[in-house]
Chains A and B, each alone.
Chain A
Amino acid sequence: MQFIEHLRSLEKALLFVCLLVVIPTMQIFAQQVDTATTKQLKGVSILGARADRYISPPQSLQGATLQRLNTYSVADALRFFSGIQIKDYGGIGGLKTVNVRSMGTNHVGVFYDGIQLGNAQNGQVDLGRFSLDYMDIVSLYNGQKSNILQTAKDYSSASSIYLYTKKPSFEGKEKVHVAGTFRTGSFGLLNPSLIYQHKINDQVSASLSAEYTYADGEYKFRYKKKEGYDTTAIRKNGDITARRVEGGFNGMMKGGEWSAKFYYYDSDRGLPGFVVAGVFGHVDRQMDRNFFVQSTFKKDITKKYSLLLSGKYASDYVRYIAPDTALLRVDNKYYEKQSYFSIAQKYSILPNWDVALSTDYQYNSMESTMRDFAYPTRNTVLIAASTAAYWNRFKIQANALTTIVDETVKIKTASPPKREVTPAVFLQYQPTHYKDFYLRAFYKRIFRMPTFNDLYYTEIGNSYLKPEYATQYNVGLTYNKKYEKGIINEVGFEADAYYNEVTDKIVAMPTVSQFRWSMMNLGFVKIHGVDMKGYTELQVAKSLTVSARAVYTFQLAQDFSDPKDTYYKDQILYIPKHSGSLILQASYKQWDFNYSYIYTGERYNAKANIRANYVQPWYTSDISVSRKFRTGMLDWMASFQVNNIFNQYYDVVLNYPMPGTNVKATIRVGF
């Protein structure tokens, strides 16, 4: 049986590869999206810092492509990247975290307008709560952003997601932009938002964005067994009310730029919980409040010396309530504070050789109303020394990151101080004189700190935990060609093969009973993977542009923790061997069409790869159509979207059902 399944999955892999190979011959080819949209960014003024050079290109979705996908959140957009798995608990308010190349959510750094979003409590950023309304670019870097004038934090994750909000840009005599958007649809969604941008002078602009989201979160789900039960029910307690306000200033100067912004978000949501026999609803709730202010300043001080300053203060609050009178009653509040400052400097020794030094300091503290809470504080110093150079067709970037972490606690034992030094090397080689094709490779060793929960969570935490290490080896190639004339605007193909190891993986292990778990450095995972993506944009006719983007990921992520385990070498839970996505977009005059498809292959919901833990593949197709029009001064856009058009019922996480077919309508007006 397993043999047959294996054959079937091989067959699937082959087909996906075939699709990728066949498509180019039909001249429907593939994208490296960031370059596709550089066209739109051409109008950069002479003001501003020198452009960054990346050795390892990111996967990006931005601008029109991102807007046409019309997804609910950043997490939904990230599903279209290769190498990524989203853990999605379902619904608009459901937790959505990303796992890049099977190394685990805690190895993913998330940066918002250039500065990392922290969560010292559990190390995970819920990407479901970042709406795409105010987002300009969503990028994923494997390894790291291989720029060198950057904060030490940029070097400190196994992979990083960068979210950039819309920067104001004004043409001609424009002084003010205003855009209002209203979305509604399934899940009782009511989602108005407003963007206001103001040009103060030629150097400085201000912007403000506000958004309100309400959804009752109800949707139908179905569990069915062949010749067995077939039950359909409504997901309850998935309601959410959320408010977001953010804004700030963007400034340009000779050889430099700066920004200062604030961000506020609060939400009150139901936690719909697991669906098991006899339990189809829960009453747990969560309230959040996130606030931060941050600022960056970047300037080429001399021809050879550049400076980047960054600073941030963040205050986060979470309250979790479990008011079910038949169960353990919980009402815990958590308060987290973060202060952060970074100085990065770059010096050009030779025109083709730069060195840089980045020094970051971060202070984290956490308080809670939990019984026996440890009240931890953490002081982190990160020092990254890096260099970048190129000779002929060869580029290199290398760095060493020193991390110094010291913690204190009010009760119990603080985690011992940590001093770690971790290297990374990125190479790029252009084998021929054609600039369209180049090869690249990287090696990176990095770790993630145990979180405050791992270390100090009452009764579960283990302050003796060591850092969890991830080591990555990657080779890849990029082919990208743009055409001035003819039907093809652009074609591109990228492939990467990689081997990762996660050692001292922090896992929860039971101690004396099912209710007593503790965190331990016990896991060891080896990951072999292949990521492929292709893109093309075609100018089919003067007013018809068609683009296609296909992505395929293969991952063999095996548990090598203990040869005595029955699941030794089994695929780790929730990681499919095969996954992929396809986006087809067409623009015809004022019309835009989008078709997107996501495939996640068979996987297992527990460590043992046995039939009882087997999870069926799932795949969804979403379509949307939108039209732009103009009345007087106003620009309008209306769109309608149908998601999961074949009404497939599936779980991403066991017993957390996902919605079937759902719809969304959007109208935007602005000037």
Chain B
Amino acid sequence: MRMKKYALAAAALGLVYFSSCRTEDTILPPTVTPVDTPSVPTSIIGFYLLNEGNMGSNKASLDYYDYTSGLYKQNIYAEANPTAVKELGDVGNDIRVYGSKVYAVINVSNRLEIMDVATAKRVKTVEILNCRYVTFANGKAYISSYAGPVELDPNAPIGKVIELDTATLNITREVIVGYQPEEMAIVGNNLYVANSGGYRFPNYDSTVSVVDLASFKEIKKINVAINLHRLKADNRGNLYVSSRGDYYTKPSRLFKIDTKTNTVVKQIDFSVSNLAIAGDTAYLYGTEFNYNTGKTTIAFNMLDLKTDQLLNKNFITDGTDKGVKMPYGIAINPITKEIFLTDAKDYVSPGTLYCFGADGVKKWSVTTGDIPAHFAFVYGVK
């Protein structure tokens, strides 16, 4: 009997000891890294970087770079919003600043997260199933969503675009577009939506939907190429839309649409994973995977938008690109022409953000969250 008591006492002791090891989970504070010398900023005072986080990990996170202090703050959302259940959420797919607010599209969490641009504090969340991208015009936000009505094709419901009033932050209208709509751009009175049809492979969608903003009706489908993704407007009324291809025989390509005629006017023979437009130049990169060699090849390029000629030169000029495993997000500071490029690496580890001068020479780099991807520049009075 005494032995048993000892045994129980030993067990209890062990238990008490181990039980004392477990501390309460805490909200992680931001990691602040000085990356550049403090400077007097241009009208762009900083930018947000949205890290996607791998699906199911709930590791979408928000970073902020402040030009004035030269400080990079990684993971600012959780501390700014300690009561937000399970933080920012799962797969941050897009971010934009409009007015005094910043809008983040959190794909798997099915929500549009609306925050104060100065503090990143939550103003409101709006539930939008399988939401993808956001764009703005005339006081309205437009959010693309895969989750349209199911009547048409139960195997892959047609997509839609939702209109949200940025004053009331309420949904006002919605319009059915193509299958699995991705990026959007607004030129004049029209909203252009790149439809991928990614859920319907091999029967991909291949159209850009043209939506009249006044009636909020789809007025035309422009046939482009299969599996469309990126869609950027230049300042001449042209759109550049990328096709992902089918990953097998049809390669990824870039197409130019003239919005005066709403027709495809040019194909650019370069595999485009992502692009950013600044002035008359598009900065492109493409990744291709060879199943036989197991190697991913990465190519960088630039496109002259006046002539639509590929410049066949890398916008990174100091060789830094050789250390980039998986280029993912790209943005150009429209004023300084600084180039921001992210490396998502293996998608399940912290990434890297590189800042290059307009000359393509690296200025600084910093560790980000998982899958650094989407940028939103902040203007003015922060």
Contacts and interface: CB of A to CB of B under 8 A. Distances in A.
Contacts of B87: 277
A396 B244 CA distance: 60
Nearest to A520: B294
Nearest to B323: A564
Contacts of B157: 325-326
Interface residues of B, number: 83
B177 interface: no
B99 interface: no
A200 interface: no
Interface string A590-604: 000001010100000
B22 A277 contact: no
Given A19-B10, A28-B10, A225 B150 contact: no
Closest 8 CB pairs of A and B: A277-B89, A278-B109, A511-B289, A228-B82, A326-B147, A276-B90, A277-B86, A276-B58
B379 interface: no
19 contacts: A225-B26, A275-B86, A277-B58, A277-B85, A277-B89, A278-B90, A326-B110, A326-B130, A328-B198, A462-B294, A509-B346, A512-B296, A518-B294, A564-B323, A567-B349, A605-B57, A607-B346, A611-B28, A619-B19
Interface in B160-202: 198-199, 201-202
Contact of A546 (B3, B54, B85, B346): B3
Contact of B75 (A459, A584, A608, A612): A612
Contact of A608 (B4, B6, B292, B349): B349
Interface stretch (A170-178, A305-313, A495-503, A537-545): A537-545
Contact of B127 (A15, A278, A327, A608): A278
Contact of B129 (A23, A277, A326, A605): A326
A229 interface: yes
B369 interface: yes
Given A326-B157, A516-B289, A538-B4, 7 more contacts: A274-B90, A277-B86, A329-B156, A511-B287, A546-B3, A607-B348, A619-B15
Interface string B9-47: 011001101110111111110000000000000000000
B303 interface: no
Nearest to B367: A566
B155 interface: yes
Given A225-B82, A279-B108, A462-B291, A654 B57 contact: yes
B218 interface: no
Contacts of A546: 3-4, 7
Nearest to A649: B25
B17 A513 contact: no
A611 B244 CA distance: 36
A646 B198 CA distance: 47
Contacts of A548: 7
A520 B296 CA distance: 12
Contact of B291 (A223, A325, A518, A611): A518
A274 B83 contact: no
A12 B15 CA distance: 12
B279 interface: no
B371 interface: yes
A607 B345 CA distance: 12
B84 interface: yes
A19 B199 contact: no
B115 to A, nearest CB: 14
A224 interface: yes
Contact of B199 (A278, A328, A371, A516): A328
A654 B56 CA distance: 8
**Interface of B, helix, strand, loop or mixed by DSSP:** loop
A278 B110 contact: yes
A582 interface: yes
A277 B273 contact: no
A600 B369 CA distance: 27
Nearest to B244: A513
B56 A274 contact: yes
A487 interface: yes
A616 B24 CA distance: 9
Nearest to A606: B348
A544 B4 CA distance: 10
Contact of A606 (B22, B26, B349): B349
A474 B289 CA distance: 41
A304 interface: no
Given A279-B108, A540-B3, A514 B88 contact: no
Contact of A597 (B15, B86, B156): B15
A277 B82 contact: no
Interface in B185-240: 198-199, 201-202
A373 interface: no
A487 B6 CA distance: 15
A513 B246 CA distance: 12
B59 interface: yes
Contacts of A459: 247
Contacts of B82: 225, 227-229
B2 to A, nearest CB: 8
Contacts of B378: none
B381 interface: no
Interface in A437-472: 459, 462, 464
A71 interface: no
Contact of B273 (A28, A513, A618, A648): A513
A618 B345 CA distance: 31
A152 B268 CA distance: 58
Interface string A129-140: 000000000000
Interface string A1-26: 00000001000100110010011001
B18 A329 contact: no
Given A26-B10, A224-B25, A616-B25, A278 B349 contact: no
Nearest to B371: A514
B335 interface: no
A431 interface: no
Contacts of B109: 276-279
Contacts of A277: 58, 84-90, 106, 109, 111
Contacts of A616: 22-23, 25
A325 B87 CA distance: 26
A27 interface: yes
A565 B351 CA distance: 11
Contacts of B6: 26, 28
Nearest to A459: B247
B327 to A, nearest CB: 11
B301 to A, nearest CB: 16
A610 interface: yes
A188 interface: no
Nearest to B13: A19
B3 A28 contact: yes
Contacts of A520: 294
Contacts of B55: 514
A325 B27 contact: no
A516 B328 CA distance: 14
Contact of A276 (B108, B291, B345): B108
B8 interface: yes
Contacts of B305: none
Given A276-B109, A278-B109, A646 B3 contact: no
Interface in A555-570: 564-567
B57 A228 contact: no
Contacts of A607: 346, 348-349
Interface string B49-75: 000101111110100000000000001
B146 interface: yes
A278 B294 contact: no
B50 to A, nearest CB: 14
Contacts of B17: 15
A39 interface: no
